[in-house]
Chains A and B, each alone.
Chain A
Amino acid sequence: MGSTSIEGASSADRWYRIITTACALSIPLLLGFIALQVFVGAWPAFEKFGLSFLTGSTWDVGAGEFGAAPMIYGTVVSSVLALVLATPLALGVAIFLSEFAPPWLRQPVAFLVDLLAAIPSVVYGLWGIFVLLPVLREDVMPFLATTLGLGNTPLFSGPAYGNSMLAASVILAIMILPYISAVAREVLMAVPRAQREAALALGATRWEMIRDAVVPYARSGIIGGIILGLGRALGETMAVTMLIGNRAELSASLFAPGYTLASVIANEFAEASTEFHTAALMACGAVLLVVTLMVNMIARWLVGRVAREGR
C-alpha cells in the first residue's frame, strides 16, 4: 500500500519533470525550427541569385530580378542613425535616474520612458505620418538644407518629401530609447556602492564620480544595451514601413526615400505572386534573422558579463 503511493508520487514527479523539461526544450527547438523554415522558404532565391542577392542593387519585381543591397543599406543606415540619435539621450536618462534624480522624480520619469516601449509600432507609424512627417518636411529638412547650408552635401541633398531615411531614423530613435535606457539603468544600478563612495571620498564631484568610477565599471553592459537597441532597430517593421518611403534605390541622401529588409517584407509579401518574389522576400527575412540573432547574442553576452562581475 505505502509503497504504491510513493511509487505513484514518483511517477507523477517524473511526468512533472518531463512536461516542464519539454516546455523548456521547446524554446531552442522553436528557434531552430523558425530558422529552418525561413531558410527553406528562402532557398529558391539563394539558389538562383547566390551571393548577388546580397550585392545586387536592382529590385525589379516585374523583371524577376532581386538584389537586396538597397534594403541592407537602408536597414543599416536607418538603424545606425537611430542609435546615434537615441544613445546620448538614453544614457542621459539612465544616468539621471540612477545617480541624480530626486526620489520623487525617479518613479514617474522611469515610468514614462518605459511606457514608450509599450506603444505599438503601428501607432508610432500613424503618429509619424500625420505629425512627424509634416514637421520634418516643413521645418527640419529646410532648416538643415537651407539655414545650415548643408543642402550641398550629399547627406542632405535632394527634395524634401518627408517620407525618407531621416524620418525612419527619427521614429526608430524614439522607439529604441526605452530599451537602451532600461538596460543602461540596470547595469548602472548594479555598480557597487563602494565604487561611488570611494570616488566621492577622494574628493570627486558627482559628475567626476560618474565619469571615472561608475560608467567605466558598467561600460560593457552599457555597450550591450546599445547593441540590444540596435537589434530592435534592425528588425523594427511597421513604423519604418509607414515612414521610409519604400523605394528600392541606393541614395546617399537622408532626405531620399529608402527601404529596409523588414519593410520590404511587410510591404510586398501579401501581394507577392511569383514564387521567386516570395522566396526573395523570405531571403530578406533570412538575412534579417541571421543578423539580429548575432547582434542579440553579442548584446546578451556583454550585458551578462557586467551582471556577473557586479555580484
Chain B
Amino acid sequence: MATTSRPTGQQRAFAERTGRSLGRRRVTNAVMLGIMYVAAFAATLPLVFILVHLAREGASSLDLAFFTRMPKPVGETGGGMANAITGTLILIAIAAAIGLPIGIGAGLHLAEQRGTRLANAVRFLSDVLNGLPSIVMGIFAWQVLVRPIGHFSALAGGIALGVMMIPLVTRTTEEMIRLVPTSLREAALALGYARWRTSLSIVLRTALPGIVTGALVAVARIAGETAPLIFTAFGNQFWSTALDQPMAALPLQIYSYATSPFDDWHRLAWAGALVLIALVLIISLVARFATRSRFTAGHD
C-alpha cells in the first residue's frame, strides 16, 4: 500500500511503545488506570467536604426563626433572614420574567432558522455572553439603571440576573426544540396549521418538559449570584418588597456576614449558605429528574 507515505509522529510513537515488553506496557497501563481512579475520587472530595461542613455548621444554627425573623443589629444574638429569603425569591422572579421569554424566543429562532448566518452568529455570541463575568453584568446594570436614577434598586439587580439568564435559556431551548422530530412539525403544517401555531402549540409544547428543565437550571445558576447584586440590589437590613428600593438577598447577606468579625453573624452566614445550597440543589435535582423522565418517555 502507501509505502511512500512516511509514518506520522503518532504512529512512530505507537510503534516504539508496542516494541517494548508486554509486561512493562501492562504495568504502565495499570498505573495510569490507577491514577485516573484516584483523580476521579479526588475530584469528588471537595464537594463532599463542602457539603458535609455546610450541613454540620448550617444545621446547628438553622431554626424556624431564621426563616421568620429579621436580622438583628450587631451585638444582639438571634434573628433571621426573612427579608433576604423573600428578596432572593423576588429577584429570581424579576430575572425569570426577563430571561425566559427572550431566551425562549431566541431559542425558537435558532432552532427554526438553522444554518442562517444570523443564527450562527447569535449562537456563537450567546455562548460568549454566557462567559461574561457576572461582576461585569453588575457594573453594566449599575451604569444603566442605578447611576441615572441615583439610588440602588431591586429592579436593577433583577435585570442584571435576567440578562445572565438569556443565553442559558436560549441554548437549552434550541437544543430541546431540535429534539422534536421534523415529522411532527410537517404533520401539523400538512393539516393546515399556520407556521406560528405549529411552532407554539405543537413543537414548543412537545419540547416543553426539556425547556422547563433548562429554565430551572438557569434559575439555579443565577439564584446564588452575588457579584451582580452588590451595587444594584445592594442589600437591605429591613423588610422591603419595593422594586425601586434596595433589597436584601440571601447571597449578599451571606457575603456581608461571612466577612464580618462577629461569631454570631458567622453562624447565620452558615445557616444562610445551607438554605441557599438547598434551594439551588433542589432546583437542580428537580431539573435532572425532569430530563430523565423526558428521555425515558421518549424511547417508545
Q: Which residues of A contact B (CB under 8 A)?
A: 9-10, 12-13, 15-17, 19-28, 30-31, 34, 37-38, 40-41, 88-93, 95-97, 99-101, 105, 109, 111-113, 115-116, 118-127, 129-131, 174, 177, 181, 199, 202-208, 210, 212, 216, 228, 231-232, 234-238, 242, 262, 265-266, 269-270, 281-282, 285, 288-289, 292-293, 295-297, 299-300
Q: Are B33 and A24 in contact (CB under 8 A)?
A: no
**B85-108, CB < 8 A from A:** 101-106, 108
Which chain A residues lie closer than 8 Å to B103 at the CB level?
23
Q: Which residue of B lies closest to A264 (CB)?
A: B135
The CA of A121 and the CA of B230, in the complex, are separated in Å by 13
Please classify the interface of chain A as helix (H, G, I), strand (E, B), loop, or mixed, using the class held by over half of its residues: helix
Q: Kindly name the residue among B49, B143, B231, B234 whose own CB sees the greatest number of chain A CB atoms within 10 A.
A: B143
B136-151 contacts to A (CB < 8 Å): 136-140, 142-144, 147
Most buried by A among B37, B40, B127, B230: B40
Chain B positions within 8 Å of A, measured between CB atoms, are 10, 13-14, 17-18, 25-26, 28-29, 32-33, 35-40, 42-44, 46-50, 53-54, 57, 101-106, 108-110, 112-113, 118-119, 121-122, 124-129, 131-140, 142-144, 147, 163, 166-167, 170, 194-196, 199-200, 220-221, 223-227, 230-231, 234, 251, 254-255, 258-259, 266, 269-270, 273, 276-277, 280-281, 284, 288
CA distance A16 to B36 in the complex (A): 51
* List of A residues within 8 angstroms of B147 by Cβ: 41
Provide the residues of chain B in CB contact with A21, threshold 8 Å: 109, 113, 118
Complex Cα spacing A289 to B134, Å: 10
Give Cα A38–Cα B143 distance, bound, in whole angstroms. Answer: 7
- Which residues of A have CB within 8 Å of B281? 115, 118
Would B43 and A89 count as touching, CB distance under 8 A? yes
Q: Is the pair B277, A34 in contact by a Cβ cutoff of 8 Å? A: no
Q: Given A27-B122, A129-B258, A270-B230, answer yes or no on A38-B140 (Cβ-Cβ < 8 Å).
A: yes
CA of A40 to CA of B122, assembled, Å? 24
Sample of 22 A–B contacts (CB below 8 Å): A12-B196, A24-B106, A26-B106, A26-B166, A27-B170, A38-B143, A90-B43, A116-B46, A120-B225, A123-B273, A127-B54, A131-B49, A235-B135, A236-B133, A237-B226, A237-B227, A238-B251, A270-B230, A285-B139, A289-B133, A289-B136, A296-B128
Q: Is the CB of B139 within 8 A of A22?
A: no
The reply to whether B128 and A293 contact each other, CB–CB distance below 8 Å, is yes
A25 CA to B200 CA, complexed, in Å = 20
CA distance A210 to B17 in the complex (A): 13
CB distance from B119 to the nearest CB of A (A): 7
Report how far A112 CA is from B44 CA in the complex, Å: 6
Pair A289/B194 contact, Cβ less than 8 Å: no
Question: For chains A and B in complex, what number of residue pairs have CB atoms within 8 angstroms?
Answer: 280
Closest A residue, CB atoms, query B41: A109
A20 with B32: in contact, given A262-B135, A282-B139 (CB under 8 Å)?
no
User: Which of B17, B132, B170 has the most CB atoms of chain A within a 10 A radius of its CB?
Assistant: B132
Q: Contact between B36 and A100 (Cβ–Cβ < 8 Å)? A: yes
Known contacts A285-B136, A300-B128; 6 further A-B pairs (Cβ under 8 A): A26-B106, A93-B39, A96-B37, A100-B37, A119-B277, A288-B133
Whole-angstrom CA separation of A285 from B195 in the bound complex: 44
* Complex Cα–Cα for A204 and B20 (A): 11
Which residue from B44, B134, B223, B280 sits with its C-beta under 8 Å from A237? B134
For A30, give its contact among B129, B131, B234, B254 (CB under 8 Å): B129
The one of B25, B37, B112, B129 in contact with A20, judged by C-beta atoms closer than 8 angstroms, is B112
